[in-house]
Amino acid sequence: MKIAVVGTGYVGLVTGVCLAEVNHDVICIDTDLQKIKNMEQGISPIYEPGLEELMVKNINKGNLKFTNIHVEGFKNAEVIIIAVGTPQMPDGSANLQYIEAVAKSIAEYVTKDVIVVTKSTVPVGTNDFVRQVILDNLKCDVNVKVASNPEFLREGSAIVDTFQGDRIVIGTQDEETASILEMMYEPFGLPIFKTDIYSSEMIKYASNAFLATKISFINEVSNICEKLGANVEDVANGMGFDNRIGRAFLNAGIGYGGSCFPKDTHALVQIAGGVHHDFELLKSVIEVNNKQQRLLVDKIKARFENPEGKTVAMLGLAFKPNTDDMREAASSVLARELIQLGMKVIAYDPIAIENAKTQLPQQVIYANSSEEALKQSDFALIVTEWDEFKQMDLGKLQEWLTEPILFDGRNCFTLEQAKNAGIEYHSMGRPSIMLENKVSIN
Ligand SMILES: NC(=O)C1=CN([C@@H]2O[C@H](COP(=O)(O)OP(=O)(O)OC[C@H]3O[C@@H](n4cnc5c(N)ncnc54)[C@H](O)[C@@H]3O)[C@@H](O)[C@H]2O)C=CC1
Ligand SMILES: O=C(O)[C@H]1O[C@H](OP(=O)(O)OP(=O)(O)OC[C@H]2O[C@@H](n3ccc(=O)[nH]c3=O)[C@H](O)[C@@H]2O)[C@H](O)[C@@H](O)[C@@H]1O
């Protein structure tokens, strides 16, 4: 099938590459010419495990192409997939300007019947808007069908999620459109759930909001566990045995970040508000998360009488491991607050440093390895649970840090590991490990 994908970010590029991998004829379109030039040479604009290899393979096979010229991309397309960003507006609602621009270019340039699929996360009713913009601006006498097809991949495991996802959702009431999209996805062999457009649009927001709710819920439980001396990991494991609850997304930490949960929870509150529904539960989820993102600062303030002048190694900057994405990363909030407290921050991340430089305060100093960061610091924080931090020899902290104190925002180590390493260890929702002559802060 001939497919054009508009937008080559995390979703568009991964989708385009995976559809090419199952032998569709794919052209990816982006307005960013530099990205296009790089991708033509097999260089991925984003860090995503396995993506570049598959990209190169399919460019060489001849079924993956790139262009910055929409008319060129749409020329032969039977299906056009919209995967441009829908960032958050100041009031929390989704910004649809990129979606509208794509709809206008489709109207201007399509010369044959086509199915337009909205993969970007968009508020309920947006596909109606896309259809209307296209109809209002259409230059040729062609038939354009519009369908919703939200995406559920996660950054860092996007390729695996695409080939092994739990479901593909197709929102359309047109049987012919549904069956063409089913054919397109058939090679993935995944369950396909068909519904109407509005429900499909809502499934995406409700799914992200539910996952965010699970995270805020366990973080609240975690904060209570700390006060009571319980261990949130055991609590989550014990809860997770119940199939109705499930263990996934019950990892307590420093809150959710990234390009989607924060913006999509805000957008759903706005969507609800648009129909005069006050989504109180989701507002609390957001509020809990905002507090949770800065919890390590509170722990530091509780531990040190005067943190001013201390140097801290900040390990991990990306909003989660295996990505270079810094959007809404807790590291931004933490670095800002620590610097305000008069501390020196030495940061290290295996992949995200270049992106971090555009987001973190300019006073932050970057190290080339965790060892380099730790050796120059008084104590340390783990902000992102990269494998290389989880595999770190904790005993070395005694040697490298002025004070062997670790604040672990992601519970990367067991309490036994910390105890055996002879360090002071403060994690999330679990009792602190103190060295002799020190009193636990919990
Ligand atoms: N990042 C993720 O993990 C997921 C994102 N989503 C949703 O997918 C959508 C896209 O997200 P990302 O891939 O993260 O976005 P992104 O910001 O990484 O990429 C968007 C791309 O679209 C391009 N673009 C903008 N206007 C264009 C136009 N008129 N024509 C061609 N290209 C254009 C930009 O240059 C950019 O490369 C959003 O709605 C997001 O909520 C859904 C599931 C997962
Ligand atoms: O719409 C989207 O963009 C995507 O948003 C999330 O994917 P992503 O943001 O890439 O990453 P997640 O693995 O969901 O993690 C999001 C945040 O939650 C945090 N998290 C996750 C799980 C958990 O148990 N605890 C926790 O704090 C992570 O550290 C991270 O900051 C969803 O998982 C995807 O299904 C969805 O497609």
Nearest protein Cα to ligand 2, atom 36: 152
- Whether the pLDDT of residue 439 is over 70: the answer is no
The answer to whether the Cα torsion of 266, 272, 273, 274 is positive or negative is positive
CA of 376 to the centre of ligand 2 (A): 32
Mean pLDDT of 8-37: 97
Residue written as tokens 């939200």? 150
User: What are the structural domains, with CATH classification, of the chain?
Assistant: 2-195 (3.40.50.720), 203-291 (1.10.1040.10), 293-426 (3.40.50.720)
412 catalytic? Reply is no
The answer to whether the Cα torsion of 265, 286, 431, 225 is positive or negative is negative
- Closest atom, ligand 1, to C-alpha of 68: 31
Give the burial string for 313-343 (b: 16+ CB within 10 Å, else e): bbbbbbbbbbbbbbbbbbbbbbbbbbbebeb
Q: Which of 205, 211, 264 to mutate to test the pocket of ligand 2 (most atoms within 8 A of CB)?
A: 211
Confidence of residue 305 (pLDDT cuts 50, 70, 90): confident
Mean confidence (pLDDT) of the chain: 96
Which ligand has the nearest atom to the CA of 322? 2
Could you tell me if the ipTM is greater than 0.90? yes
Position 54, amino acid: L
First CA to last CA distance, the chain? 60
65-86 confidence digits (pLDDT tens): 999 999 999 999 999 999 999 9
Mean pLDDT of 208-224: 98
CA of 21 to the centre of ligand 2 (A): 25
Confidence of residue 438 (pLDDT cuts 50, 70, 90): low
For residue 318, give Cα distances in angstroms to 69, 155, 219, 252. Answer: 32, 11, 20, 17
Q: Which of 84, 102, 167 to mutate to test the pocket of ligand 1 (most atoms within 8 A of CB)?
A: 84
- Whether the pLDDT of residue 284 is over 90: the answer is yes
Q: Indicate the DSSP class of residue 88.
A: B
- Whether the pLDDT of residue 124 is over 50: the answer is yes
The pLDDT value recorded for residue 442 is 45
- Closest atom, ligand 2, to C-alpha of 156: 10
Tell me the pTM. 0.96
Of 18, 28, 225, 260, the catalytic one is 260
Q: Which residues line ligand 1 (CB under 6 A)?
A: 6-12, 29-32, 35, 83-86, 98, 101-102, 120-121, 151, 153, 155, 259-260
328-343 confidence digits (pLDDT tens): 999 999 999 999 999 9
- Whether the pLDDT of residue 369 is over 50: the answer is yes
